[in-house]
Amino acid sequence: MADGRQWQGKTKGGKFGQRFLLSFLKRFRVTALYPSLPFIIPFCLIFARKPNRALYRYFHDIHRYGRWRALRSTARNAYNFGKVVIDKFAIWAGRSDQFSVRVEQPEIPQRLFEQEKGVLFAGSHIGNFELLATAFEKNPKKINVIIYGGESEMLNQQRTSVFGENHVNLIPVTADMSHLFTIKNALENGEVVAILCDRLFGSPKKKTLDFLGHPADFPIGPFRLAAQMDVPVLSVAVMKEKGLCYSCHTTLLNVEPSLTTSQKCDILIEQYVKSLENVLLQYPEQWFNLYDFWNLENNHNRK
């Protein structure tokens, strides 16, 4: 998606606002900030026109909601996003103990943790991926999380410090691609590598698949690496429930060992997209790709 329509994913608020949130949430429960959202969200809906237009199209064109239902869902999605952002700051402030995460079908990831092989966790920009370590805090394997550029140095330092205390290693994506060697070494050592697999981040290597009834592009890289190294892939989504509760949904992506690397890669991507669809049908209002993911606006203009 080098066409400029991709959302950059950088946390807003400036250094002062970010420091205030971290300082506040170190001292107070996260729910103390929730009541402020009904006063903030209307301004976001009015002034953040581009992401909100993309969200409206997501509900109206993808889920085929009527106009008023799409508008209401856009507002609720923004409200959910606000809660998740506050929750993330609480996690970065070292207060993940406030949250409870129920892992659905825990026997599936448990079997993978007991194997000597490394494991690839394929996540996405839905729910709250930052609670991955909390969901699997008793996991014996080290978790390595791939992070992309854009966040401030202060936030990255805070995340590295907090996650390091929970045996989670953050691997930043580098321009010289040296992070690929770090990822490969982690998988060879039998560790977990967690990566968000629903955005291209400028990569030209992509596969176009039917996603919720419309064509969308997904990156090939993570799935090709898993196929080449013959490591299992677990699709993971940590979704917000009521209060401070989350549920972790996992799907093991299965491929026949006799297939070629290219065939395995294709099947892994297809299964990942299907698992993402299944979760979004349950939680449509926790879709946090705040840009024109399906390129609906251009497609509409061509008609």
* pLDDT given for residue 153 in this prediction: 72
3 pLDDT higher than 50:
no
Tell me how far apart the alpha carbons of residues 154 and 45 are, in angstroms, rounded to a whole number: 28
Residue 171: CB atoms within 10 A of its CB come to: 18
Tell me how far apart the alpha carbons of residues 5 and 135 are, in angstroms, rounded to a whole number: 32
User: Per mean pLDDT, which range of 73-77, 82-86, 89-93, 156-160 is the poorest?
Assistant: 156-160
* pLDDT given for residue 95 in this prediction: 93
Q: Are 269 and 157 in contact (CB under 8 A)?
A: no
* pLDDT given for residue 175 in this prediction: 77
Tell me how far apart the alpha carbons of residues 280 and 212 are, in angstroms, rounded to a whole number: 9
For range 102-126, the mean pLDDT: 95
151 pLDDT higher than 90:
no
Name which of 17, 87, 42, 69 is nearest 288 in CA terms.
87
295 pLDDT higher than 90:
no
For range 88-104, the mean pLDDT: 94
Q: Are 73 and 66 in contact (CB under 8 A)?
A: no
The pLDDT > 90 percentage for the chain reads: 72
* pLDDT given for residue 275 in this prediction: 98
204 pLDDT higher than 90:
no
Tell me how far apart the alpha carbons of residues 46 and 294 are, in angstroms, rounded to a whole number: 23
Q: Indicate the burial class of 250 (C-beta count within 10 angstroms; 0-12, 13-18, 19 or more).
A: buried
* pLDDT given for residue 16 in this prediction: 75
**Predicted confidence (pLDDT) per residue in 80-91, tens digit:** 999 999 999 999
Tell me how far apart the alpha carbons of residues 130 and 89 are, in angstroms, rounded to a whole number: 10
Element (H, E) at 207: strand 206-211
Q: What is the pTM of this model?
A: 0.91
The domains of the chain are located at: 14-94+289-302, 98-286
**Predicted confidence (pLDDT) per residue in 212-239, tens digit:** 999 999 999 999 999 999 999 999 999 9
* pLDDT given for residue 192 in this prediction: 96
- Residue 12 — very low, low, confident or very high, per pLDDT cuts 50/70/90? low
Summary mean pLDDT of the chain: 89
48 pLDDT higher than 80:
yes
Sheet with 100-103, edge to edge strand ranges: 100-103, 245-253, 233-240, 119-123, 192-196, 143-147, 168-172
User: Per mean pLDDT, which range of 12-16, 22-26, 33-37, 245-249 is the poorest?
Assistant: 12-16
For range 22-48, the mean pLDDT: 92
For range 155-170, the mean pLDDT: 81
